[in-house]
Amino acid sequence: MKRLAYLLLPLAACATSDDPCGDAAAHIAACFPDHAIISPSCDPDTAGDIASTSCDELAMRDGKSDGWSCIWMPWLATCGGGSSSTSGKKIEVSVEECGPGALCPYVQSASCGLVTLHKGSAEVARGYSSGGGRLTFEGLAAGEYTVKVHLRNDTLAKMLPDELSDATAPASSKITVGGSGDAPWARFELVNGSAEKLTRCAQSRGNLTVKDRAGHPVDRKLVEWDWIVEHEVDGAIERTRPLFFSENTGENIIDFRLLHTGTHKLRFVRVNIPTYLQKPNPDYDRLRRDYAANTPPIETTFTVSASQVGGTVSINRTITDPLR
């Protein structure tokens, strides 16, 4: 999943509302009540446009507002009227969960957690930890910053500031960005059990069943290499294949992770992949480009609701192979 970090911009003097960003967030929350909305900080003129746009028109835009410099997504609304340049300094963030016990016998990455960046009392950027628990805040001026990690209930997570002690502290770290040298790191070793409590994503998992045009099931070993499965949301595409592990399970597994709330598209692409390219960890983009069959993909959607965050969404599907 891509790293997300959005810099906040100053409010414009021409704004007609005292809180246009809050108005936009409230309107999006009313239009899409099943989505987890984080209050945006944004260009107020574009926020005003969002707040005055009907729910139906917003839905038709697939999550994009009417401005090249502003987007809203079901889980995050944020806009910017200025440059998106990443010139300047950066802070690297590592978010991990520490195993039980004072000596932290193991660590695991804590993914899809909200991380905020503050300068003084003002929040200046926010983003989500990646599948590896990483995040980068870029385009920063030299100075003193504070990085914070939030649980899903919007309280601060708890961390172990000292591996040799059982003492805990709020997950907040002061970082100095200097004029030169390597990017500083904000490293968080959260207490055991934090990863589940902070994630704002769900996982999808399902079984793909393919039938021929006569309605008979297709051999699952063939299914694994006859299809590429695409997951698309907000224009980003992730590809895999329906994995077949053994005759005992009798399933072709499709599995996608780090899914925010909202509507997601699944696309099943029929391919004719040569046997010599049917090997583990292939280049799915190349296989899709070079070996897609001359038949339209089969598309379907699924929805991740706020109540499913932290869990698994079933995406079992049955499709008909147009070439069998």
Asked whether residue 95 falls in the same domain as residue 168, the answer is yes
Predicted pLDDT of residue 87? 52
Q: Are 206 and 314 within one domain?
A: yes
Burial 167-178 (b: 16+ CB within 10 A, else e): eeeebbbebebe
291 located within any domain: yes
Do 181 and 209 belong together in one domain? no
Whole-number pLDDT of residue 2: 31
Predicted local confidence at residue 75, as pLDDT: 35
| Residue 157 located in a structural domain | yes
Per DSSP, the residues of 255-283 read EEEEE-SEEEEEEEEEB---GGG--SS--
Nearest by Cα to 206 from 64, 316, 81, 321: 316
Domain containing residue 252: CATH number: 2.60.40.10
pLDDT one-digit tens code per residue, 124-175: 998 888 888 898 898 888 899 999 999 999 999 999 887 666 788 999 999 9
At 112, the amino acid letter reads C
Asked whether residue 84 is domain-assigned, the answer is no
Same domain for 162 and 113: yes
pLDDT of 88 reads: 65
DSSP letter for 251, please. -
Residue 75 C-beta-side C-alpha neighbours within 13 Å: 26
Two structure tokens written together for 139: 């385009």
* AA identity, residue 169: A
Whether residue 206 is found in the same domain as residue 310: yes
Do 104 and 187 sit in the same domain of this protein?
A: yes
Cα 54 to Cα 59: distance, rounded to the nearest angstrom: 9
**Which strand (E) or helix (H) includes residue 206?**
strand 202-211
- Dist. CA 65–CA 306, nearest whole Å: 22
Q: Tell whether 44 and 146 lie within a shared domain.
A: no
| φ, ψ dihedrals at 314, nearest 5° | -80, 130
Extract the residue ranges of the chain whose pLDDT is less than 50: 1-15, 35-41, 61-86
Q: Which of 31, 50, 79 is the last residue of a domain?
A: 79
On whether residue 191 sits in a domain, the answer given is yes
User: How many structural domains are present in the chain?
Assistant: 3
Whether 268 is covered by a domain: the verdict is: yes
The residue segments making up the domain with residue 281 are: 202-320
Which residue is associated with the tokens 């063939």? 222
Whether residues 299 and 221 share a domain: the answer is yes
Same domain, 73 and 98: no
Q: Tell me which of 44, 79, 114 is where a domain ends.
A: 79
Q: Which long-range contacts (CB under 8 A, 24 or more apart) does 48-55 make?
A: 48/15, 48/16, 48/17, 48/20, 48/23, 48/24, 50/24, 50/77, 50/79, 51/17, 51/20, 51/23, 51/24, 51/26, 51/27, 53/27, 55/30, 55/31
CA distances from 9 to 17, 70, 273 (A): 16, 12, 48
Q: Of 43, 59, 79, which residue sits at a domain end?
A: 79
181, part of any domain:
yes
